[in-house]
Amino acid sequence: MEQVLYRKYRPQSFADVVGQDHAVRILSNALAMNRIAHAYLFSGPRGTGKTSVARIFARAVNCEKGGCNTCATCEEFLSGRALDCVEMDAASNRGVDEVRAIREAVLLAPFKAKYKVYIVDEAHMLTKEAWNAFLKTMEEPPKHAIFILATTEPDKVPETIQSRSQHLRFRLADEATLVRVLVDAAKKEGMALEPDAAEMLALFAEGSFRDALNLLGQAQALGGKTITASVLEDFFGAPSKTALTEVASALALRDAKHAIECAGQVFAKGSDPRLFLKLLIHQFRAQFLDALRSGRVEKDAANPFSTKELETILRILLETATERHYSGWRELPVELALHRIVREVSL
């Protein structure tokens, strides 16, 4: 079976990991100085590299060459069959039994490798009893054991565990970073991903590397060699750039009626109002950041809004995007926002 893109492009060495410099630096230094902690807590949103880095680290501590990915040890770890690397998904194995089994097994020497590495995914899902069992191990960890607890919710990890582990935070990727990763993967796949299209996928992915690559996979499944923004607009039911530009122009002319009509046409085609809002925010944010970068404060011929006005517009759109949307009134919040912009940013 064809491998899904996010698995195919899983980082296999520290150098492949994008945007997590802090975590990578700490782990590389620990390896270089041979000061490896017995327990690590990897926290951060899903799809930011926690599992990937845990596996890289598991190989790095055991490989003679620090994770060459070619020696027998690395190959065994890469195959997922290494007995000295145990991955447990706490979301499906919440039980105290699994942890108890780990507790007993951890005392025995590794089968082949230098270290036994236990990777516990979704660690926050463990039950209280399971944590207690873990704690007993972590209080006196054998020299050969390393625990890596990965979680999206570090606050739910008991204080006693937190204080015994080194906490590394994984961060969401910014759009430019995701664009880079997408363009890179597209190239390897022999796809032509147009810049507009890459930007759109990055926006939809909301900071998750995994989501970005999954979306690219969906775009690839559409079959075309060239992925354009308009192909994606059709596929995701996103408002077209032309429509967004027209709404922005109407706002520039302080024409609330026309702005709302344009938005209405977009919704009539089946676009989701929240997606519309998101893309509108994206567009105005780009203008805002651009104004800051160039030091422009006032409006001019090419820029119909002053920096202060852009700030007001973004505030209104952001407020609308974060407020609750009642299912019966999906379009109204956008319409009100457009009207309010014209009211508050008068000519």
Ligand X SMILES: Nc1ncnc2c1ncn2[C@@H]1O[C@H](COP(=O)(O)OP(=O)(O)O)[C@@H](O)[C@H]1O
Determine which residue in the list 18, 31, 36, 71 makes contact with Zn ion, applying CB under 5 A: 71
Tell me, residue by residue from 14 to 43, as one string, x for binding to ligand X by CB under 6 A and - for no binding: ---xxxx-----------------------
Contacts of ligand X in 148-207 (CB under 6 A)? 150, 170, 181
Residue 213 touches which member of ligand X, Zn ion, Mg ion, none, C-beta under 5-8 Å by kind: ligand X
Q: Rounded to the nearest 5°, which phi and psi values hold at 34?
A: 55, 45
Total residues in contact with ligand X, by rule CB under 6 A: 22
Q: Among 13, 26, 31, 46, which residue sits at the site for ligand X (rule: CB under 6 A)? A: 46
Chain-centre distance of CA 139, in angstroms? 33
Kindly tell me which residue out of 38, 49, 117, 148 binds ligand X, with binding defined by CB under 6 A. Answer: 49
Asked if residue 307 lies in contact with residue 315, where contact means CB atoms within 8 angstroms, the answer is no
What's the burial of 121, exposed, middle or buried (CB within 10 Å: 0-12/13-18/19+)? buried
**Shortest Cβ 54–ligand X spacing (Å):** 8
For the chain, the residue count is: 347
276 binds, among ligand X, Mg ion, Zn ion, none (CB under 5 to 8 A by kind): none
Q: Decide which of Zn ion, Mg ion, ligand X, none touches 214; Cβ closer than 5 to 8 Å per partner kind.
A: none
**Residue among 60, 64, 54, 51 nearest 30 (CA):** 60
- d(Cα 34, Cα 261) in Å, to the nearest integer? 65
Smallest separation (angstroms) from ligand X to the CB of 205: 10
Query: Quick check: 39 and 167 in contact, CB under 8 A?
Result: no
- The kind and range of the H/E element at 101 are helix 96-105
Per CB under 5 A, 321 contacts Zn ion: no
What is the torsional sign of CA 45, 83, 22, 150?
Answer: positive
Looking at the Cβ atoms of 48 and 137, the one nearer to ligand X is 48
Tell me if 74 contacts Zn ion by CB under 5 A. yes
Does residue 58 touch Zn ion according to CB under 5 A? no
Report the residue number, 69 or 166, with the smaller CB distance to Zn ion: 69
- Show the site string, 231-250: x = touches ligand X by CB under 6 A, - = not: --------------------
Find the residue with minimal CB distance to ligand X.
Answer: 49
- Size of the residue set binding Zn ion (CB under 5 A): 4
Alpha-carbon span 157 to 169, nearest angstrom: 14
Which of 27, 39, 41, 48 is close enough to bind ligand X by CB under 6 A? 48
Q: Which of 57, 209, 288, 305 binds ligand X (CB under 6 A)?
A: 209
Least distance (Å) between residue 16 CB and ligand X: 6
Work out which of 38, 50, 116, 278 binds ligand X, going by CB under 6 A.
Answer: 50
CB 203 within 8 A of CB 227: no
Helix extents (H) in 123-271: 128-139, 159-162, 175-188, 195-205, 209-221, 229-236, 241-252, 256-268
Contact between 68 and Zn ion by CB under 5 A: the answer reads yes
What is the widest separation between alpha-carbon atoms in the chain?
76
Among left, alpha and beta (phi > 0; psi -120 to 50; other), residue 337 is: alpha
- In b/e form, how buried is each residue of 265-298, taking b as 16+ CB within 10 angstroms? ebbeeebebebbbbbbbbbbbebbeebeeeeeee
Binding residues (CB under 6 A) for ligand X: these are 6-7, 9-11, 17-20, 46-52, 150, 170, 181, 209-210, 213
In the complex, the residues that contact Zn ion under the rule CB under 5 A are 63, 68, 71, 74
